[in-house]
Amino acid sequence: MASIKETLKNLPELPGVYIMRDSEGKVIYVGKAKILKNRVKSYFQHREDRDSKTAMLVSAVESLEYIVTHTEEEALILENTLIKRHKPKYNILLKDDKTYPHVRLTIQEDFPRVEITRRVEKDGAKYFGTFVKMSAVKDSIEVLRRLFPIRTCKRTISPDKKQKPCLYYHIGLCSAPCAGYISREEYADLVKNAAAFLDGRHEDVIEKLENEMNMLSEQMKFEKAAVVRDRIRSINALYKKQAVYSTKMDERDVIALCSDNWHYAASILAVRGGRLIGKRSYVLEGMGAAEPGEVIESFIIQYYEANPEIPKEIALQVEPESMEALTQLLTRKRGSKVTLIVPQRGKKAELIDMAEQNAKEELELYKRNVLATQMRSIETLKKLQEALMLKKTPMIIEAYDISNTGSTEIVSSMVVFREGQPDPGSYRRFRMKAITEQNDYGSMQETLLRRFNRYLSGSKDEAFGRLPDLILVDGGAQHVNAAKEVLQDLELDVPIWGMAKDDRHRSHRLVNGSTGIQLSGDSDILRFISAVQNEAHRYALQYNKNLRKKRMIKSELDNIKGIGPTRKKSLLKAFGSVKKLKEASVEEIAKVDGISLKLAESIKSQLK
């Protein structure tokens, strides 16, 4: 691989994405640039002007690469894809919004239903959200169904087969299309009004309902007209509670940021029909010292990738780095024109101030919660120090566990807890080289020998480049004694304790080979040690399972005559797993590219 100096010399004056890696080859930052040459070189020039975090990033960079794109818009998309894939340490990263609840309206069905979902898919349904709290989405659906009684069940509805209506019909929360109590046209009107209501277009809904009520009155259908009248009253009552920010039927999101020395918070206010209908706030853990234009751009791309609803207009606190490219990207995703503005005065600027205040509140709340958690963790560590009579508070703890499948997939885990909290970036795992038979003591010794030899050799890997304050191993006195032998041979002085379990495989004692302490006397220490032990076990077992899965796939498919790497890849891509392949018919297997009917029969026969 070319050195950083060589790469900087050859940077093109084209748009693209640049990727920075550390000494272990791990991606630590991904950025995009309109002109790669200018942007990337700026990191390595004017060192006295760098902020502390940029200096920290550059000092960790060991290699640099780039990918040229045709346009700045392509660079934006590629940057977001690589950030999601690699989760770089120094990038702003918005947690996947698909984990938050949405309202799903299955408009692709003849009689659509409404439901709560945490997955947004391209399935023809219409999605509304995102909702931060599950209680909020449940309340919205309850209000919606009282106004527009849409079904929530998954019954198959057929005009030829009437069904008995359920309880929801009798309490007014469903119009019972399954029983034929409402026509397809009437139900479709309910769904249209429900969608408009969820979109925040309340005035449109009221206008439609008023027309419907007048028509029913003219037809002398007074009972139905009264039902519609009550719906109008309920919507008006809800509508009055919402603040008015425009007499026009405006549809916009308002986005603002707030930052401290390390983190950013972002807040989005949703205005629909000229009224403020909702707020969402996020904390962005990452480069708080990054420029606001870079942060707001990265946030917008990640947020609207997960959020299915893009409004006509988005008002921003600061101008994104690539305003034009971002506008084109959002316009294409929405399917109609999206306008980005940076208001300086008037009602829109007032909304920016409100969004900024909400972002500030979110950041303060986050800091208070993090600080409280840190304080509790430190107190637990101090109690642990006292209980184990350690020389200093164990701020960095390494825990080890062994996992094996008999004499195969013999692996171990090293998990790290920093200031009482897991530090996944420092986790490491080992596959045994010297130990070839099941031997937990020998496996533990090999693991520690390899880990601490890395330390003694001056490893640049952050996880190996310093000594922990405490080592915890899964097991009893013999495991501890085996571990102590390694450290004594290496002349390293680090306290080692074993995490012993009771008959029900629960943490209950800490032992150091000569003495032990019961954990039942302090619930905080017990909870902490249990968390450490469970995490070490989980990480080792996960590695073991992954290796076992690879071995099973390899042994079953690689032994089949006529299956080479290309066909193997095609089969696994088509069926997802060997198990699914076994369940498939000969005809289904033969549909895969490169697989004839004769070969499919052979595969099916050999897999049996």
At 68, which CATH number? 3.40.1440.10
**Residue 19's pLDDT band (cuts 50, 70, 90):** very high
Q: What is the pLDDT of residues 246-282, one digit of tens each?
A: 445 578 899 999 988 778 889 998 887 777 777 788 8
The rounded distance, in Å, linking the Cα atoms of 584 and 576 is: 11
**Residue 47's pLDDT band (cuts 50, 70, 90):** low
Query: What's the pLDDT at 474?
Result: 93
- Exposed/middle/buried for 164, CB within 10 Å: 0-12, 13-18, 19+? exposed
- Exposed/middle/buried for 600, CB within 10 Å: 0-12, 13-18, 19+? buried
| 268 part of a folded domain | yes
Q: In terms of domains, do 114 and 151 share one?
A: yes
Residue linked to tokens 């002109």: 35
Q: Out of 502, 529, 549, pick the residue that ends a domain.
A: 549
Query: What's the pLDDT at 247?
Result: 44
Q: Provide mean pLDDT across the span 380-404.
A: 94
pLDDT, averaged across the chain: 85
Query: What's the pLDDT at 549?
Result: 79
Share of the chain above pLDDT 70, in %: 90
**Structural domain count of the chain:** 5
Query: What's the pLDDT at 286?
Result: 65
Q: In terms of domains, do 255 and 183 share one?
A: no
- Asked, as a colleague might, if the bond just before 393 is cis with ω within 30 of 0, I would say no
**Residue 145's pLDDT band (cuts 50, 70, 90):** confident
Q: 148-152, 200-204, 308-312, 496-500: which range is least confident on average?
A: 200-204
Query: What's the pLDDT at 282?
Result: 86
Q: Is the pTM of this model over 0.75?
A: no
Q: In terms of domains, do 412 and 537 share one?
A: yes
Q: In terms of domains, do 536 and 599 share one?
A: no
Query: What's the pLDDT at 356?
Result: 93
Q: 134-148, 220-234, 315-329, 511-525: which range is least confident on average?
A: 134-148
| 316 part of a folded domain | yes
| 299 part of a folded domain | yes
| 138 part of a folded domain | yes
Q: What is the pLDDT of residues 283-318, one digit of tens each?
A: 887 665 578 898 899 899 988 887 767 889 999 999
**Residue 378's pLDDT band (cuts 50, 70, 90):** very high
Task: Kindly report the CATH number assigned to the domain that includes residue 325.
Answer: 3.30.420.10
Q: What is the pLDDT of residues 186-221, one digit of tens each?
A: 999 889 888 887 776 777 777 878 888 898 888 888
Q: In terms of domains, do 594 and 491 share one?
A: no
Secondary structure E strands in 445-592 = 470-474, 496-501, 507-511, 516-518
Query: What's the pLDDT at 413?
Result: 95
Has residue 498 got a pLDDT over 50?
A: yes
Q: In terms of domains, do 537 and 578 share one?
A: no
Domain range spanning residue 41?
A: 4-86
| 33 part of a folded domain | yes
Query: What's the pLDDT at 556?
Result: 73
Longest dimension (CA), the chain: 97
Query: What's the pLDDT at 50?
Result: 61
**Residue 96's pLDDT band (cuts 50, 70, 90):** very low
| 211 part of a folded domain | no
Q: What is the 3-state secondary structure (H, E, C) of 300-335?
A: HHHHHHHCCCCCCEEEECCCCCCHHHHHHHHHHHHC
Structure tokens at 267: 């807040």
Q: What is the pLDDT of residues 415-457, one digit of tens each?
A: 999 999 999 989 999 999 998 888 999 999 999 999 999 999 9
Q: In terms of domains, do 499 and 429 share one?
A: yes
| 245 part of a folded domain | no
Q: 213-217, 229-233, 305-309, 498-502: which range is least confident on average?
A: 305-309
